[in-house]
Amino acid sequence: MDDVVTDIPPPSRFMLEDLNNFTPPSHPLPSPFLVFSTLDYSKSFHPSLLIIAMSSPSLHLLHHLSSKTLIGTLVLPEFPFSGNSVEPSLSDKSCNIYALNDSDRLIMIALVQYSVTSERSHAVAKLLIGERIIPERVLILDSVQSRNFRGKLSPDDIFAVKLETSFERKSSDTGDSPLIKGLDYFPSGSVVDGLAAALLSRCQLKKIKGTLCVSWPHFGVSVMSLVKSLLLKGALAGINHSSDADLEDEYLRFSRSKDFHLDSELYT
Amino acid sequence: MEFYVEEGKELDQNCSTLILPALSIGNVGQLAVDLLIASLKAEKIGYLDDPNILPCVGNDAYWPSPPGDLTLPLEAYESSSSALTLVQQRSPVVKGMMVEYAKNLANFASSNGKKHVIILSSLDFGRWHTIDVSSGLQVYYLSTSNIDGTDEDCERLGWNRLQEYNPSQRMWKYLNTLAEVGSALEEDLPFEELGDEDYYPSLPFAALFSCFKAKGLKVTCLLCYCSEGDNIPEGFHLAEAASKLMRLSQNEFHGNEAGKWIIPFSWKSVYGPPADISLF
C-alpha cells in the first residue's frame, strides 16, 4: 500500500519546467517557409476554401483524390527531405499543398503528414492562413486527442464533432451552407491542442470562417467512411471525388498495421 | 502579443483593475478566474495572441448556450459594473519563455490603462515551512505597496505577507533585471546552484509580479498553499479573497452557490467521465 506521507508525489498536471521562470528556452529552430511552383514570390492565393488535413482518415482520403494538382509545399526545416519519394506519397514527412482541378472556384488542400509540435504550431498556422494564403473559409480535419477529451472514448465508437469560429457560425445564420453538416459541437470541458488549435485560433483572430472537425477513432475504415460522407455532403459537395485507388481496401490494410490491439502477445 | 477585440466590443477604460491567474500547482489561479468570470457574468471583450502560449481551443467554458462559442487560450473579459478586466489563460507557456510572456502581458496592461493588477496563484504545500492549522486555509499576499511587500488593505483583511519574499535576495533581483525592457534570460543562470531560497522567485507568479511592477503598476499577488488533487475548494477560496480585496458587493454576483458563485459549465467534466458502472 502506498505511503502518502513518504512516497514520491504523483506527477503534477504541470511539468516542473512549466512552473520555473528560469528554465532555459529550447534552441531556436529555423523558420518554416512555403514554396510554390509559381516563380512569382509576391503572388498570394485567395481560395474560396482551404482544407487542412491532419487525421489519418482525411489524409488517406484526400491523398487519393485524383482531381488535384500539386502547387506547393510547407517546409519545416526539422524534417529532412531524405526518405521522401519523388511523387507525393502518404509515407512522406511533408506538407504538400494542392489545388483542386474540378472546380470553378479555387479550393486548396494541405496534407500535413508530419507531426508539428505545439511549440511550432503558431508559426505554421501563420504561414498556412493569412499571409500568402488568404482563404475565405477553412476546414481543418483532425482526430480527437484522448488525453484532452473529458468524455468517454471507446474504440467501438465512431463519431465526429466540430468547433467553429464565430464568423462561421454567423454565416450559417445568414444562409451559407455549413462546411460540415449534422455534427454536434465539441463538448465543453474538453480541448484540442497543437496545430489544429493554432489554425482555428488564427481563423478566429483574423475573422475568417473556420471549422475544425475532429473524428474518432484515429484509424479504421468506418471513421474514414464517416469523414468521406461528411466531406461529400458538405465542403466537397459537387466536386469530382474520384480516387486513384481502392480506398477502403488500402485503408483497411493501413489501419490494421496501426491497430496495436492485434499485436498483443496473447495471440502469438 | 496582439490584442484582438471581439466584433462590436471595445475595452472599457474605466476597468482599471486587472485580475489574472499565474500558472501554479493545482491550476488554482485559473480555477479562481473561471469562477469570477462566470459569477460576475463578465463579457468576453477579446483575445490575446502571444507566440509564447501553446495553442488550444474548446467550446464555451462558461455557458451551455448559445452552443459552440469558441474558446481560445488567452481571453480577456470585462465586468464594467465591477470595473474589472479579467484575463484567463488555458494553456501552458512555451518552455523557457515565462518572463517574455510576463513582459508582454505587462505591456498590454500598461498600454490599456490598467492601474492595479491582482495575480491569483497557489503554492506547493510541500514547501510550507510554518504550518499553522489554527487559521484554516490561509491567504498569503505580496504587494508592491511597500518595499517589504506589505499592504494595508491585505493586512486589514487578516492575510499574511509571504514571509519568504526578500527583495534583496539574488533571484528576486535577477527577476527585476529580466523584467526590464531589453533584458533576456541567459542560457546559463548567473548562479551556480539554486537553493531553497530561490524557489519562490522561480515561480510564474513572481515573473508576473516583477514585470507588472517594472511598468509602475500596483500589483497584489494572492496566494494559498495546496497539494495537487481536487483543487476546486482552493479555487473558491482565492476567488473569494479577490472579491474581498476588490470590495465587490453581493449584488454584483449572479449565482446560487454560497449566495453568489456560478459554477462554470465546463467544470461538469473537469475530472473526466464517470466510472464505467458495468465494471461493477
Residue A215 clears pLDDT 90, i.e. is over it:
yes
Over pLDDT 90: what percentage of chain A? Answer: 54
Residue A253 clears pLDDT 90, i.e. is over it:
no
Mean pLDDT of the region A191-220? 96
Q: Residue A268: its pLDDT value, please?
A: 39
- For residue A144, give the chain B residue with the closest CA: B58
pLDDT confidence of A262, banded at 50, 70, 90? very low
Contacts 24+ apart (CB under 8 A), A81-89: A88/A63
Nearby residues of B155 by Cβ (< 8 Å), 6 or more positions away:
B161
Which of the residue ranges A32-36, A261-265, B117-121, B251-255 would you say has the lowest mean pLDDT? Answer: A261-265
Q: Residue B181: its pLDDT value, please?
A: 66
- For residue B69, give the chain A residue with the closest CA: A166
Q: Tell me the pairing of strands B74-79 and B84-89.
A: antiparallel
Cα pseudo-dihedral B130, B133, B139, B141, rounded to 10: -20
Residue A225 clears pLDDT 70, i.e. is over it:
yes
pLDDT confidence of A42, banded at 50, 70, 90? confident
Q: Residue A83: its pLDDT value, please?
A: 83
Whether A9 and B98 lie within 8 Å, measured CB to CB: no
Q: Residue A58: its pLDDT value, please?
A: 95
Whether A24 and B187 lie within 8 Å, measured CB to CB: yes
Instruction: Walk along chain B (280 residues) in steps of 10 and give the mean pLDDT of each run.
Output: 92 94 95 96 96 96 90 96 96 94 96 96 80 70 96 95 91 90 62 76 96 96 91 94 92 75 88 65
* Nearest CA-CA partner of B52 in A77, A218, A123, A94: A123
Q: Residue A238: its pLDDT value, please?
A: 80
Q: What phi and psi values does residue A261 have, to the nearest 5 degrees?
A: -60, -35
Q: Residue A251: its pLDDT value, please?
A: 76
Pick A189's closest partner by Cβ from B67, B187, B270: B270
Mean pLDDT of the region A250-261? 62
**What is the secondary structure of chain A as a DSSP string?**
---TTTSPPPPPSS-GGGG-TTPPPPPPPPPPEEEESSS-TT--B--SEEEEE-SHHHHHHHHTBSSEEEEEEEE-TTS-STT--SS--TTS--EEEEEESS-SS-EEEEEE-S---HHHHHHHHHHHSSSSB--SEEEEEEE--GGG--S---TT--EEEEEE-HHHHHHHHTTPPPSS-S-EEPPTT-EEESHHHHHHHHHHHTT-EEEEEEEESSS-HHHHHHHHHHHHHTTTTTS---BSS-HHHHHHHHHHHH-GGGG-GGG-
Mean pLDDT of the region A9-31? 78
Catalogue all structural domains in chain A, each as residue range(s) with its CATH number. Answer: 38-267 (3.40.50.10900)
Nearby residues of A156 by Cβ (< 8 Å), 6 or more positions away:
none
Residues of A in contact with B202 (CB under 8 A): 19-22
pLDDT tens digits for A139-167?
A: 999 999 988 888 888 878 999 999 999 99
Residue A214 clears pLDDT 60, i.e. is over it:
yes
Closest-CA distance of chain B to residue A214, Å = 12
Cα pseudo-dihedral A142, A143, A147, A153, rounded to 10: 150
Closest-CA distance of chain B to residue A121, Å = 7
Q: Tell me the pairing of strands B84-89 and B17-21.
A: parallel
Helix then strand count (H, E) for chain B reads: 6, 10
Quick check: bond before A77 cis, omega within 30? no
Catalogue all structural domains in chain B, each as residue range(s) with its CATH number. Answer: 2-265 (3.40.50.10900)
**Through-space distance between the first and last CA atoms of chain A, rounded to whole angstroms:** 34
Closest-CA distance of chain B to residue A264, Å = 22
Instruction: Count residue pairs from A and B with Cβ separation < 8 A.
Output: 154
Dist CA A55 CA A115 (whole Å): 11
3-class secondary structure, B172:
helix
> Cell digits for B194?
539554486
Average pLDDT along chain A: 86
Pick A19's closest partner by Cβ from B51, B64, B203: B203
Q: Residue B185: its pLDDT value, please?
A: 61
Closest-CA distance of chain A to residue B189, Å = 8
Q: Tell me the pairing of strands B140-143 and B160-161.
A: parallel
pLDDT confidence of A260, banded at 50, 70, 90? very low
3-class secondary structure, B192:
coil
Nearby residues of B206 by Cβ (< 8 Å), 6 or more positions away:
A21, B172, B175, B200
Residues of A in contact with B58 (CB under 8 A): 163, 186, 188-192
Quick check: bond before B264 cis, omega within 30? no
Residues of A in contact with B175 (CB under 8 A): 21
* Nearest CA-CA partner of A142 in A226, A59, A201, A257: A59
Closest-CA distance of chain A to residue B247, Å = 30
Nearby residues of B239 by Cβ (< 8 Å), 6 or more positions away:
B31, B32, B33, B35, B36, B39, B120, B261
Whether B59 and A201 lie within 8 Å, measured CB to CB: no
Quick one: angle between helices B170-179 and B204-214, nearest 10? 50
pTM: predicted TM-score of the whole model, two decimal places? 0.91
- For residue B170, how far is the Cα from the chain centroid? 24
Q: Which of A19, A21, A191 to mutate to test the interface with B (most CBs of B within 10 A)?
A: A21
- For residue A125, give the chain B residue with the closest CA: B55
Closest-CA distance of chain A to residue B96, Å = 4
Q: Residue B201: its pLDDT value, please?
A: 94
Q: Residue B277: its pLDDT value, please?
A: 63
Pick A19's closest partner by Cβ from B23, B56, B57: B23
Q: Which of B37, B56, B227, B269 to mutate to test the interface with A (most CBs of A within 10 A)?
A: B56
Q: Residue A9: its pLDDT value, please?
A: 46
Q: What ipTM was estimated for this complex?
A: 0.91
